[in-house]
Amino acid sequence: MIIDCHGHYTTAPEPHNVWRDLQKQNFKAGGNTDPAYPDISDDEIIESIEKNQLRLIKERHADLTVFSPRASTMAHHVGDESVSIAWTRRCNDLIKRVVDLFPETFIGVCQLPQSPGVPISHSIAELERCVNNFGFIGCNLNPDPSGGHWTAPPLTDRAWYPFYEKMVELDVPAMVHVSGSCNPNFHATGAHYINADTTAFMQFLEGDLFKDFPTLRFIIPHGGGAVPYHWGRYRGLADMMKKPHLRDHVMKNVYFDTCVYHQPGIDLLFKVIDVENILFGSEMIGAVRGIDPETGNFFDDTKRYIDALAISDADKAKVFSGNARRVYPRLDANLKARGL
Ligand SMILES: [Zn+2]
> 63: CA distance to ligand 1 center in Å?
18
Give pLDDT tens digits for 263-302: 999 999 999 999 999 999 999 998 899 999 999 999 999 9
Cα 108 to ligand 1 centre (Å): 14
Distance (Å) from CA 239 to ligand 1 centroid: 31
d(CA 41, CA 136): 22
Ligand 1 centroid, distance to 176 Cα (angstroms): 9
pLDDT at 158: 98
Q: How confident is the model over 98-127, as pLDDT tens digits? A: 999 999 999 999 999 999 999 999 999 999
In this structure, are residues 185 and 234 in contact, taking their beta carbons and an 8 Å threshold? no
| pLDDT tens per residue across span 318-333 | 999 999 999 999 999 9
pLDDT category of residue 306 using cuts at 50, 70 and 90: very high
How close is the Cα of 306 to the center of ligand 1, in Å? 19
Query: What contacts 329, CB < 8 A, 6 or more positions away?
Result: 171
Question: Would you call 50 a catalytic residue per the annotation?
Answer: no
Please give the pLDDT value at position 287.
Answer: 87
pLDDT at residue 286, rounded to an integer: 87
Q: Model pTM?
A: 0.97
Phi and psi torsions of 142, nearest 5°: -90, 115
Average confidence (pLDDT) over 155-180: 98
The residues, ordered by sequence, that sit 6+ positions from 179 with a Cβ below 8 Å of its Cβ are 71, 72, 73, 74, 75, 76, 77, 142, 147, 188
d(CA 308, CA 315): 13
CATH number at residue 67: 3.20.20.140
Question: What is the C-alpha to C-alpha distance for residues 198 and 203, in angstroms, rounded to an integer?
Answer: 9
| Radius of gyration (C-alpha) of the chain in whole angstroms | 19
Show the beta-strand stretches assigned E in the chain: 3-9, 64-69, 106-108, 139-141, 174-176, 218-220, 254-257, 278-279
> How confident is the model over 297-312, as a mean pLDDT?
97
Q: From the CA of 283, how far away is ligand 1's center (Å)?
A: 6
Q: Residue 256: which of 215, 283, 227 has the closest Cα?
A: 227
pLDDT of residue 139: 98
pLDDT in tens, 45-63: 999 999 999 999 999 999 9
Q: Per residue in 219-272, pLDDT tens?
A: 999 999 999 999 999 999 999 999 999 999 999 999 999 999 999 999 999 999
Q: Catalytic one among 59, 104, 126, 283?
A: 283
Mean pLDDT of 132-146: 98
Query: What is the residue-wise DSSP string for 102-153?
Result: STTTEEE-B-----TTS-GGGGHHHHHIIIIIT----EEE-S-TTSSS--SP
- Is 31 strand, coil or helix? coil
Which residues span the domain enclosing 117? 3-337
Q: Distance of CA 72 to CAs 93, 146, 303, Å?
A: 18, 13, 23
Give the three-class secondary structure for 69. Answer: strand
Give the pLDDT of residue 272.
98
Instruction: For residue 243, report the distance from its CA to the centre of ligand 1, in Å.
Output: 30
Mean pLDDT (the chain, rounded): 97
| Domain count along the chain | 1
In the chain, the percentage of residues whose pLDDT exceeds 90 is: 99
